[in-house]
Chains A and B, each alone.
Chain A
Amino acid sequence: DVKVTQSSRYLVKRTGEKVFLECVQDMDHENMFWYRQDPGLGLRLIYFSYDVKMKEKGDIPEGYSVSREKKERFSLILESASTNQTSMYLCASSQTSGSYTDTQYFGPGTRLTVL
């Protein structure tokens, strides 16, 4: 089974702090994704990566950055946390094959509260 793990289930930070959210997958997937989930808005893509050291902006990248130094690890960074970044953050990974989109497998999520 694919396993995607996230470093923290719950996190509380202060406004202005630098925040790191870590995600690790154990299936040698090329693709990794960061989403945020808010009530009534579904899942929105923040950033994704198709390979080590590669990153692409998603739909809502403002206020975030990412790092992918190793294939299995994808980090989301909030340079200066703000209260409007209080949310559930979900990491996902997928394989690359053929012309069809491949299934994304999600981690358990990190619920971040910024005070």
Chain B
Amino acid sequence: GENVEQHPSTLSVQEGDSAVIKCTYSDSASNYFPWYKQELGKGPQLIIDIRSNVGEKKDQRIAVTLNKTAKHFSLHITETQPEDSAVYFCAASLNKYIFGTGTRLKVLA
């Protein structure tokens, strides 16, 4: 069935370094790829998204890239800060969301 693989499951970086989280999806018809950030005790919050007609999107320190041929998309966070520490989820969607299993990002001060 449809699935989304997300790596790594945990990631520790020094403050100021970059962090990259990668997802691979199985359904080539997927056309929407959101990224969510979930802080402790809270629901997931959308931080950036990309649609299948775009290869890259950037919003300040956050960027997402999409390679439709490889069925692969990635989240890039530059100049990481302690407040970036959270669990990040990717999803691929055609008619419904298929979520990755999450990446716990720790930014070390």
A: which residues have CB within 8 A of B? 4, 40-45, 48, 58, 90, 99-101, 103-109
Contacts and interface: CB of A to CB of B under 8 A. Distances in A.
A45 B96 CA distance: 9
B42 A108 contact: yes
A73 to B, nearest CB: 17
Given A41-B101, A42-B102, A48-B96, A107 B89 contact: no
B101 A42 contact: yes
A90 B34 contact: no
24 contacts: A40-B9, A42-B6, A42-B89, A42-B99, A42-B101, A43-B44, A43-B89, A45-B96, A48-B96, A58-B96, A90-B43, A100-B31, A100-B32, A101-B31, A101-B32, A101-B95, A101-B96, A103-B34, A104-B46, A106-B44, A108-B41, A108-B43, A109-B42, A109-B43
